[in-house]
């Protein structure tokens, strides 16, 4: 991992050489926007603690990157093991997560630790934990509470020391109410919760991320780094970013390949033409006052409107 200064603010990245067995999809996060800076403070307060953590955020926002940072800032010396719960086979979920004993099924001459055992002494990251089947959620909770797992085909439990960091793009409380997520597991995750806002709510991060991706791809392709024109900057800040950081990275990569001058222009970004009208500066200020509960500013605005 590298954490260095970018536009006067901290930029969080993980070089290729430091990836764990599964790849990182979101490559970078910056903490320029006030909401991002607050998130980082919360993250670094949680990291040294032993509690499990639940990260909620839309797809492409960089939840795995936050999880890796939590692991790096903790005192845990074991591996960071990343697992996409949606890719776990329902048939072999027990064996994949908790491992199996030698001879437990045909062709298994040796034992396997499973994802849980691989993360022993480290951090197990479960992406989209809501996709785990309910019976596996029960066994997961038991393993976390008892600090032991029973491998498939084994007669005795194996001790494990695993910190769980989970992520979800849905409201798990609603899944609990619908009977689709284990209530006790949901509460177990309650001590450490982080909300990763979508990129459209972290407008202050957009240009720094864009400049970062521009520099990375320019270096990879052996190209001079172009400037992002003011018009292109406005277009980037006004876009709604349904694909979040991942979409921004793809847009910048494309723009670099098709630009023909020393500047990135709006037409190089290939943004959808049917975007809603961008909020004015005043509208953004009002939304921020509402979010912060700044009644004094809102009352002043009402007085100004009444007298206009």
pLDDT digit string, tens, across residues 219-255: 989 999 999 999 999 999 999 999 999 899 999 999 9
The predicted structure's pLDDT at residue 79: 93
Which residues of the chain form beta strands (DSSP E)? 2-6, 9-13, 28-30, 53-57, 80-84, 123-127, 148-149, 158-159, 163-168, 193-196, 227-228, 263-264
How much of the chain exceeds pLDDT 70, in percent?
76
Determine contact, residues 237/203, Cβ cutoff 8 Å: yes
Question: What number of H helices and E strands is found in the chain?
Answer: 13, 12
Number of residues that make up the chain: 308
Residue 32: CB partners within 8 Å, gap ≥ 6?
7, 9, 204, 205, 208
Euclidean distance between CA atoms 8 and 146, whole angstroms: 45
pLDDT at 58 over 50: yes
217 or 273, which is more confident: 217
Max Cα-Cα span within the chain: 83
CATH number, domain 199-269: 1.10.8.60
Cα–Cα–Cα angle for 195, 201, 207, rounded to 5 degrees? 115
305 or 275, which is more confident: 305
Helix axes 230-238, 203-221, angle to 10 degrees: 120
Euclidean distance between CA atoms 308 and 27, whole angstroms: 48
Question: Each residue of 272-303: pLDDT tens digit?
Answer: 764 444 455 456 556 655 655 666 666 666 66
Q: Which two tokens stand for residue 268?
A: 């190089």
Q: Which CATH class is domain 2-196?
A: alpha beta
Q: 2-196 with 199-269: one CATH topology?
A: no
Q: 278: part of which helix (H) or strand (E)?
A: none
Lowest mean pLDDT across 19-23, 97-101, 271-275:
19-23
| Domain residue limits, the chain | 2-196, 199-269
Q: Which two tokens stand for residue 232?
A: 């292109």
As a dihedral over the C-alpha atoms of residue 252, residue 258, residue 260, residue 265, rounded to 10 degrees, the angle is -50
Q: What is the CA radius of gyration of the chain?
A: 23
Euclidean distance between CA atoms 26 and 241, whole angstroms: 14
Determine contact, residues 244/199, Cβ cutoff 8 Å: yes
Does this model's pTM top 0.85?
A: no
């Amino acid at each position: 991992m590298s954490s260095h200064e970018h536009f006067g603010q901290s930029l969080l990245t993980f070089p290729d050489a430091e990836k764990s067995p599964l790849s990182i999809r979101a490559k970078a996060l910056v903490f320029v926007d006030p909401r991002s800076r607050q998130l980082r403070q919360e993250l670094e307060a949680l990291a040294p603690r032993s509690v499990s953590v639940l990260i909620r955020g839309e797809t492409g926002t960089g939840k795995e990157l936050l999880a890796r940072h939590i692991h790096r800032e903790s005192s845990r010396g074991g591996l960071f093991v990343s697992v996409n719960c949606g890719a776990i086979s329902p048939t072999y979920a027990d064996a994949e997560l908790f491992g199996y004993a030698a001879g437990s099924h045909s062709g298994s001459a040796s034992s396997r630790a499973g994802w849980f055992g691989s993360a022993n002494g480290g951090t197990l990251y479960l992406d989209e934990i809501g996709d785990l089947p309910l019976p596996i959620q029960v066994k997961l909770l038991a393993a976390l509470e008892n600090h032991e797992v029973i491998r498939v085909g084994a007669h005795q439990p194996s001790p494990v020391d695993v910190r769980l960091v989970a992520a979800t793009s849905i409201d798990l409380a609603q899944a609990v109410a619908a009977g689709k997520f284990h209530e006790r597991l949901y509460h177990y995750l309650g001590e450490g919760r982080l909300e990763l806002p979508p990129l459209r709510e972290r407008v202050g991060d957009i240009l720094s991320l864009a400049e970062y991706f521009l520099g990375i791809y320019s270096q990879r392709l052996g190209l001079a780094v172009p400037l992002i024109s003011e018009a292109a900057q406005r277009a980037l800040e006004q876009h709604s970013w349904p694909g979040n950081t991942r979409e921004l990275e793809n847009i910048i990569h494309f723009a670099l390949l098709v630009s023909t001058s020393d500047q990135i222009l709006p037409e190089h970004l290939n943004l959808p033409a049917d975007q809603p009208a961008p909020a004015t500066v005043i509208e953004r200020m009002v939304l921020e006052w509402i979010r912060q509960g700044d009644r004094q500013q809102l009352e002043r605005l009402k007085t100004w409107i009444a007298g206009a």
